[in-house]
């Protein structure tokens, strides 16, 4: 388990990470969500040991990250991975093997072959999508217990994105593996991650916390008659979101004891409670908190 406690990092007069506390359970994939500049990259670099925190602590499997005892268990995959000029996948495998003794060269070659990546070809000649696939293969085959990925799906077409997600899924099935994937788009993460954490005002809100907090928020789909004044419907409930397509109305409301009675007083032709998506929960909880959540939804 990775335990981050009261972590702080400043760059001159800019506070990039402000008092973050977060526990990352073993064997799960955590999506780290936030707009550009929210501190995702800085947080990942501190967990990886690339940057030193100004305050707070990072403990991995009981050992402090500064001890160096856990360096072989963490692979950090940045947004723009570094490779030597003219280096091929084969050469990068040999390089990584010096730092990650469990690096599986045969598995890397096998996975590259399945994706039609030439391991002897210079990486500089690869397209952006091919480079992302190549370095994800290297990261997965390094044999580490933890993998930290920064914007690994950013700018990729849907087919390449799905291929890479399948690589994650397969590796998670085969061994106990913990992954943190940072992104500024919820839709890149919600179908693959066990849970989502969003950076907000220097702190972290997780999807589990959000679902718990949203326990009194409900979504209703209703059909009203033509005589119904929809403006009066809005006023009758503690409204979060409202969408009308003619007289077919979708309401997201904070439930109060009188909410159902007030909705029924308009004699809807049809009314049904429907499950809320994770996106809707995030919007409901983050709107009005000085955070433009829509920036991380698309």
97 assigned to some structural domain? yes
Residue 144: predicted pLDDT = 92
Residue ranges making up the domain that contains 223: 212-296
181 assigned to some structural domain? yes
Which CATH number is 274's domain given? Answer: 3.30.70
* Same domain as 130, residue 32: yes
Residue 277: predicted pLDDT = 76
Number of domains making up the chain: 2
pLDDT at 16 over 90: no
pTM of this structure: 0.76
Residue bearing tokens 């109305």: 249
201, 222, 252 - which closes a domain: 201
* Same domain as 217, residue 190: no
Q: Which of 150, 144, 141 is nearest to 46 (CA)?
A: 150
What is the chain's alpha carbon radius of gyration, rounded to the nearest angstrom?
23
* Same domain as 181, residue 291: no
CA dist., res. 25 & res. 3, Å (int): 9
Residues facing residue 249 across a β-bridge: 222, 244
Residues facing residue 217 across a β-bridge: 254
Q: How far is CA 79 from CA 76, 82, 151, 175, 248, in A?
A: 10, 10, 5, 25, 44
* Token couple for 28: 């799960």
Q: How far is CA 74 from CA 33, 169, 189, in A?
A: 20, 18, 21
196 assigned to some structural domain? yes
292 assigned to some structural domain? yes
201, 232, 256 - which closes a domain: 201
* Same domain as 156, residue 64: yes
* Same domain as 127, residue 81: yes
Q: Which of residues 207 and 134 earns the better pLDDT score?
A: 134
End-to-end CA distance of the chain: 31
Q: Across residues 142-162, what is the average pLDDT?
A: 87
**How would you label 238-258 residue by residue, b for 16+ Cβ within 10 Å and e otherwise?**
eebeeeeeeeebebbbeeeee
- 210-221 confidence digits (pLDDT tens): 566 666 888 999
Which CATH number is 99's domain given? Answer: 3.40.50.300
* Same domain as 161, residue 71: yes
**3-state class of 272 per DSSP?**
strand
- 58-115 confidence digits (pLDDT tens): 988 888 887 667 788 899 999 888 899 899 999 999 999 999 999 999 999 998 998 8
Q: Across residues 42-69, what is the average pLDDT?
A: 86
Report phi then psi at 163, rounded to 5.
-60, -45
Q: Which of 139, 33, 35, 37 is nearest to 83 (CA)?
A: 139
* Same domain as 60, residue 12: yes
pLDDT at 289 over 60: no
- What sign for the dihedral angle of Cα 45, 49, 55, 57? positive
* Same domain as 153, residue 270: no
- Per the prediction, the chain carries an average pLDDT of 85
* Same domain as 252, residue 176: no
206 assigned to some structural domain? no
* Same domain as 149, residue 264: no
Minimum mean pLDDT range among 78-82, 169-173, 185-189, 192-196: 185-189
152, 180, 201 - which closes a domain: 201
207 assigned to some structural domain? no
223 assigned to some structural domain? yes
* Same domain as 145, residue 40: yes
Q: Which of residues 56 and 214 earns the better pLDDT score?
A: 56
Q: Which of 277, 235, 20, 51 is nearest to 150 (CA)?
A: 51
* Same domain as 130, residue 226: no
**3-state class of 87 per DSSP?**
coil
């Amino acid at each position: 388990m990775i335990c981050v406690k009261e972590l702080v990092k400043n760059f001159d007069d800019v506070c990039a990470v402000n008092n973050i506390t977060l526990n990352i359970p073993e064997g799960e994939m955590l999506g780290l969500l936030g707009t550009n500049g929210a501190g995702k990259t800085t947080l990942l670099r501190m967990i990886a040991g690339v940057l030193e925190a100004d305050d707070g602590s990072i403990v991995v499997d009981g050992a402090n990250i500064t001890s160096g005892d856990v360096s072989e268990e963490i692979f950090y995959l940045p947004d723009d991975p570094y490779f030597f000029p003219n280096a091929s996948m084969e050469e990068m495998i040999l390089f990584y093997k010096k730092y990650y003794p469990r690096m599986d060269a045969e598995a890397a070659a096998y996975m590259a072959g399945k994706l039609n990546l030439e391991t002897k070809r210079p990486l500089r000649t690869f397209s952006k999508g091919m480079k992302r696939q190549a370095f994800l293969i290297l990261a997965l085959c390094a044999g580490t217990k933890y993998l930290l990925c920064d914007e690994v799906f950013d700018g990729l077409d849907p087919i390449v994105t799905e291929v890479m997600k399948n690589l994650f899924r397969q590796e998670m099935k085969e061994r106990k593996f913990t992954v943190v994937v940072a992104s500024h788009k919820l839709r890149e993460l919600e179908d693959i991650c066990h849970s989502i954490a969003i950076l907000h005002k220097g702190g972290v809100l997780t999807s589990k916390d959000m679902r718990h907090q949203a326990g009194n928020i409900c979504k209703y789909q209703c059909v009203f008659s033509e005589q119904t004044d929809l403006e009066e419907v809005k006023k009758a409930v503690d409204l979060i979101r409202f969408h009308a397509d003619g007289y077919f109305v979708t309401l997201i409301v904070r439930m109060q004891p009188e909410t159902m009675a007030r909705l029924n007083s308009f004699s809807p032709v049809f009314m049904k409670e429907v499950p809320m998506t994770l996106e809707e929960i995030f919007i409901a909880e983050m709107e009005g908190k000085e955070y433009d959540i829509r920036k991380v939804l698309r």
